Amino acid sequence: MLTRRIIPCLDVADGRIVKGVRFQGLRDAGDPLERALDYQRQGADELVVLDVSATVAERAHQTAVIRRLRAELNIPLTAGGGVRSAADAQRLLEAGADKVAINTAAVLQPALLTELSARFGAQCTVIAIDARRHQDSWEVVINAGRDSASRDALQWIGEAEQRGAGEVLLTSWDRDGTLSGYDLELLRAASSRWSLPIIASGGAKTADHLVEAFEAGADAVLAASIFHDRDTTVSALKAQLFARGIEVRR
Amino acid sequence: MSTTIDIVLTNNANIASVRAAIARLGYQTRDADRRTVEDATHLILPGVGTLASARDALDEQGLLAPLAQRLAEPQAPTLAICVGMQLLSEGSEESPGVAGFGLLSGIARAFPPNVRRPQFGWNRIAASDNWLASGYVYFANSFALVDDPGPGWQTAWATHGVRFLAATRRGRMTACQFHPELSGAFGQKLIADWIKGDA
């Protein structure tokens, strides 16, 4: 049986891990390779590395970070952040990423998603969506949450699936960095409507939060600060999930 | 003498992870070409996308005939991964009318609609007779072989809505539907054993 995944996320700027609340107020949280190896030892099922650099000059470090991680890691690696073209994706894949997450650029230019999937395969193509609650639905926000895309998040998942995305990294903009739990209604709505695997993101603090997300239909959960701050470990969370009857790799 | 592992470049198959896994084991890698496919000591056949696109990529490089020659020899160490494994079968539902090399019986079938597609993540494979221990391995696939591969093949199976062939071996030829290069210590051991001739 396919197990549920725990995915630590490394937000990287200028070659260092950073973490902020609601995409703002970044602070240093360590060396990517050191942390990545630690998470692999703890039993992380894969890792996501998102480049949150503000400038193109800083962004050049992303490929070097991916190359360093790839040499050492024997679990899957997803790279994202600032992917604007097929050439950007190719650069990350050649550096050693197994999947590339694309966010704002796919919203602005949906054909790019089709192109990535056709060139590199659905198994390489992750659609990253930042969803912000708006009355009874969720709207897509882009440019690190600064702008509304005037698009319904659930419909956008459906279009992304049609265009060949293989997986959805679904971040609740409202919950990100708040440690108040995943947006379960969003997960329920997305997982019941579409067949693509869903990685829940934004708001994790406790094992209960992870259990709730899996029960709401998430296939994987992503978390950052709880691991970076050493509040818990992947292995401790997996032991608790296993005790709660959730199938995990141990 | 250091062993060199040849890797076939199938379309845009992401082989950086395969190269890294081999490097971690202390071996060199080289891109395979028409000349080396047949007589390389060790050959890896990765694959992503569809069976048709992977076959086209082999065709464009003139690799179909030399590869068929090599595959006819079960003692030539060959490791096929993901769509590379499906290429060893008779074909795939995903690419109607396109033939594989036909070493493994049956064609790759889509997973049933009641499970997530693609299958992304770690699934448990059952222990195989005198070969693989049971363990978790990493899959990224929407199609898989479901038939017994035929006489002489050892098999390891997993389940995702349907029981499917996770890995199979005959002589020095090993084929995995999962990605050993991304399957942690379990996958690393499988690759090391394949290189040394133990798997």
Q: Do B182 and A98 touch (CB under 8 A)?
A: yes
- Give A61 or A125, the one with higher predicted confidence: A125
Q: Do A249 and B16 touch (CB under 8 A)?
A: no
CATH number of the domain that residue A33 is part of: 3.20.20.70
Q: What is the pLDDT of residue A23?
A: 53
Cα–chain center distance at B177: 6
| pLDDT exceeds cutoff 80 at B14 | no
Contacts of A122 in chain B (CB under 8 A): 118, 142
A70: domain range? 5-243
Query: Model confidence at A26, in pLDDT bands (50, 70, 90)?
Result: low
| pLDDT exceeds cutoff 60 at B55 | yes
Q: What is the mean pLDDT of chain B?
A: 93
ipTM for the whole complex: 0.93
Q: What is the pLDDT of residue A29?
A: 75
Q: What is the pLDDT of residue B12?
A: 62
Residues above pLDDT 90, as percent of chain B: 84
User: Closest-CA residue in chain A for B18?
Assistant: A96
Superfamily (CATH) of domain B4-196: Class I glutamine amidotransferase (GATase) domain (3.40.50.880)
Q: What is the pLDDT of residue B170?
A: 96
**pLDDT tens figures, B101-127:** 999 999 999 999 999 989 999 999 998
Contacts of A95 in chain B (CB under 8 A): 16
Q: What is the pLDDT of residue B69?
A: 95
Query: Model confidence at B10, in pLDDT bands (50, 70, 90)?
Result: confident
- Report the first-to-last Cα separation within chain A, whole angstroms: 13
Nearest to B122 among A5, A71, A123 (CB): A5
Nearest to B121 among A5, A72, A120 (CB): A5
A141-163 CB burial, b ≥16 within 10 A, e <16: bbebeeeebebbbbebbeebbeb
Query: How many whole angstroms separate alpha carbon A157 and alpha carbon A169?
Result: 10
**pLDDT tens figures, A196-248:** 999 999 999 999 999 999 999 999 999 998 998 888 999 999 999 999 999 99
How is chain B split into domains, by residue range?
4-196
Question: Cα dihedral sign for A117, A123, A124, A125?
Answer: positive
Domain count, chain A: 1
Q: Do A74 and B187 touch (CB under 8 A)?
A: yes
**pLDDT tens figures, A151-197:** 999 999 999 999 999 999 999 999 988 899 999 999 999 999 998 99
Contacts of B188 in chain A (CB under 8 A): 74
Exposed / middle / buried, residue A232 (Cβ in 10 Å: 0-12, 13-18, 19+): middle
Average pLDDT over residues B132-137: 94
Contacts of B185 in chain A (CB under 8 A): 74
Q: Contact, A100 vs A78, CB < 8 A?
A: yes
C-alpha count within 13 angstroms, C-beta hemisphere, residue B24 = 22
Catalytic residues of A: 11, 130
For residue A69, give how far its alpha carbon lies from the nearest alpha carbon of chain B (Å).
Answer: 10
Q: Do B16 and A196 touch (CB under 8 A)?
A: no
Q: Contact, A165 vs A123, CB < 8 A?
A: no
Q: Which residue has the tokens 């003139």?
A: B62
Contacts of A2 in chain B (CB under 8 A): 115-116, 119, 121-123, 139, 160
Decide if A101 is inside a domain.
yes
Catalytic residues of B: 82, 179, 181
Average pLDDT over residues A30-41: 95
Residues above pLDDT 70, as percent of chain B: 97
**pLDDT tens figures, A53-95:** 866 666 778 999 999 999 999 999 999 998 999 999 999 999 9
Peptide bond preceding B118: is omega within 30 degrees of 0, i.e. cis? yes
Q: Do A1 and B118 touch (CB under 8 A)?
A: no
- Give B43 or B130, the one with higher predicted confidence: B43
**pLDDT tens figures, B139-158:** 999 999 999 999 999 999 99
| pLDDT exceeds cutoff 60 at B199 | no
Average pLDDT over residues B60-84: 95
| pLDDT exceeds cutoff 90 at A121 | no
